[in-house]
Amino acid sequence: MRTGLAALLAGVAVACSAAAPTSLTPAPSAFSDQLVAKVSGDGTLARLTELQRIADANGGNRATGRPGYDASVDHVAEVLRAAGFDVTTPTFTFRDTQYRNVIAQTRTGDPGQVLLAGAHLDSVRDGPGINDNGTGVATLLEIATRMGGSPPIGRAVRFAFWGAEERDFEGSQGYVDSLSDADRRAIGLYLNLDMTASPNAGYFVQGDEPASRDLAARLTALGAAPDTMEFDGTSDYAAFVEAGIPSAGLLAGDEQVKTAEQAAKWGGHAGQVFDDCYHTACDTLDNVDRTALDRFGDVTAGTLASLAGSPS
């Protein structure tokens, strides 16, 4: 997650909302219940362990332009192909060099009605980036592998893993720029996960879509009634919001300070930041709140599956 560009994109207005797809409303389904039951914090932690291993083997980080990022791309693409998804690694330009995102889509569901969930795959150069943003990546990988590439759904589900988020969101911006008008209209929702297991965990939902409200209701049911947070241009949702694509976000907090009211609601330590290892070398597996990791995985799985609907 980047915080330095808040002033640049704060309060972004959705200038082309008239061309945006209609917001989708989640509906309960047996598939949603089944997927939530399959997705686990332990499974997500196993995915995180692989990202830590990759960083350890490549100079301690997974930064775009470094070997750890390339190894992360190859690993994620391999996992998703093995799970039965159609996988591509489209390139984007970063400092005059071509780098790769990872895009995976179900083989079932209407490709003209797409649910897109994304997380940035890169870390900063100073550490392995396990909370920021291995947790978002691992959560989506756990959901994708439990869902499988050909689930019984009415709308296609697409998973995206972005490069260069820590370098001004070049990966997600390049992807949105590559979409035709029809491609943009086909995306009914973009859901962004960026840091979902901060050690002094908070629970935040972004967006005002029906999906955002469903995410909030699911967190509340798990005993973690969330706060809402404005889109402020500090993560990969920025390009989607600006393009008029309905968007939502989940996060557990970074360098902001937890208030007394938030500590009373969620536990943890008031007056301390959500993640004191943010953008540093100590952002390792030891820097993860497993309860938050499990909760965010369940609510993401439930909302995505509910939105995907049943085959007609």
What are the catalytic residues?
Answer: 165
Of 117, 240, 89, 90, which Cα lies nearest the Cα of 176? 240
Q: How far apart are CA 161 and CA 159, in angstroms?
A: 7
User: Between β-strands 155-162 and 204-206, what pairing exists: parallel, antiparallel or unpaired?
Assistant: unpaired
| Residue 192 φ then ψ, to 5° | -105, 130
| Burial label, 9 (beta-carbon count in 10 A; 0-12, 13-18, 19+) | middle
Q: How far apart are CA 40 and CA 7, in angstroms?
A: 37
Degrees (nearest 5) of the Cα angle 39, 231, 159? 35
Torsion of the alpha carbons at 109, 111, 115 and 118, rounded to the nearest 10: 120
Q: How far apart are CA 292 and CA 297, in angstroms?
A: 8
Q: How far is the CA of 11 from the CAs of 15, 117, 205, 232, 247, in angstroms? A: 12, 22, 16, 6, 14
Whether the Cβ atoms of residue 275 and residue 198 lie closer than 8 Å to each other: yes
3-state helix, strand, coil in the chain (%, to 5): 40, 15, 40
Whether the Cβ atoms of residue 211 and residue 26 lie closer than 8 Å to each other: yes
Q: How far apart are CA 62 and CA 3, in angstroms?
A: 19
The number of helices, as runs of H, and strands, as runs of E, in the chain is: 11, 10
